[in-house]
Amino acid sequence: MSILATMMAIFALIYSMRTYRKTMQIVHYGEIDKMYFEILKEALAKPHLVRQGIERDVEQATEYNVYAFIVWNFLESIYDRCMLDSELKTTWFPIIEAERSIHLVWIQKSENRAKFKTEFLKFIDEGKFEIV
């Protein structure tokens, strides 16, 4: 009887751990989604942050530099999470690709590249966003 109780306790523990892990994934996904929504709201309020090939005044250029850093920092965090949870790639790789197309020139500048990990920069430079 004690063997059965032990087996049930182990099963319950494994089940609880899996349920907890799934719950945490959902919570983390919600956090990521909210953060990206806030970034997009800023772009809606100030369209010069996402327009390509326009001339920006000094204030707009400063805002763009800060905004681009925020975007790339967010994308690096997403990349890190995607490397740990491949299910996220389906949702977030297309977004990384879309943001890359807008802000690629910014991250190609040497003073900006120094702010990011080499593996992330290699991923961005290669532009291979296939979901494997």
* Counts for the chain of helices (H) and strands (E), in that order: 5, 0
The pTM is what?
Answer: 0.79
* Cα 47–Cα 126–Cα 67 angle in degrees, nearest 5: 25
Mean pLDDT, the chain, whole residue set: 88
Tell whether 8 is covered by a domain.
Answer: no
Over residues 46-54, mean pLDDT: 93
Number of domains in the chain: 1
For 104-129, the pLDDT digits (tens) are 999 999 999 999 999 999 999 998 88
Tell whether 1 is covered by a domain.
Answer: no
* Per-residue pLDDT, 13: 67
* Per-residue pLDDT, 4: 72
Per the structure, the complete domain to which residue 68 belongs is given by 27-126
Tell whether 83 is covered by a domain.
Answer: yes
